[in-house]
Amino acid sequence: MRTLIVLTLLAVLVMAATCYESHESMESHEYLNPFLNRRRANDFIQADTRLRAITRERIRERSKAPQEHQRELCEDYYPCEMYAFRHGYAAAYKHYFGRRRTE
């Protein structure tokens, strides 16, 4: 019985030591209102710069010059790319994709 009282007293002391609220934790403004409004939350959370870079790259892909589109199309087709090494991409595109074949 005496050991049970000692163990209970020891458990109460351990609980009091671990669950103690210090004065410093009550000084925090988060103690009174732990949630931020949306405007203040955006003040310290920055958007990911990688996402911005990806978005800019996608915008650049949409607004490419026609010559760039022709060059990419020619690079994807191996015979056109080999022809372009000798005669240039403009001539290669014109040779392989310039005239439409309707047969």
- What pLDDT, on a 0 to 100 scale, did the predictor assign at position 28? 59
Q: How confident is the model at residue 41 (pLDDT cuts 50, 70, 90)?
A: low
Give yes or no for a contact between 92 and 74, defined as CB atoms under 8 angstroms apart. yes
How many other β-carbons are positioned within 10 Å of the β-carbon of residue 94? Answer: 14
What are the residue ranges of helices labelled H in the chain? Answer: 2-18, 23-27, 29-32, 38-44, 49-62, 66-76, 78-87, 89-93
Give the pLDDT score at 103.
Answer: 47
In the predicted structure, residue 90 carries a pLDDT above the cut 70 = yes
pLDDT at 86 over 60: yes
- Is 91 a residue whose pLDDT tops 50? yes
Query: What are the backbone angles phi and psi of residue 102, rounded to the nearest 5°?
Result: -120, 90
pTM: 0.38
Q: Does residue 64 carry a pLDDT above 80?
A: no
Q: Which long-range contacts (CB under 8 A, 24 or more apart) does 88-96 make?
A: none
pLDDT surpassing 60 at residue 5: yes
Residue 29 confidence (pLDDT): 57
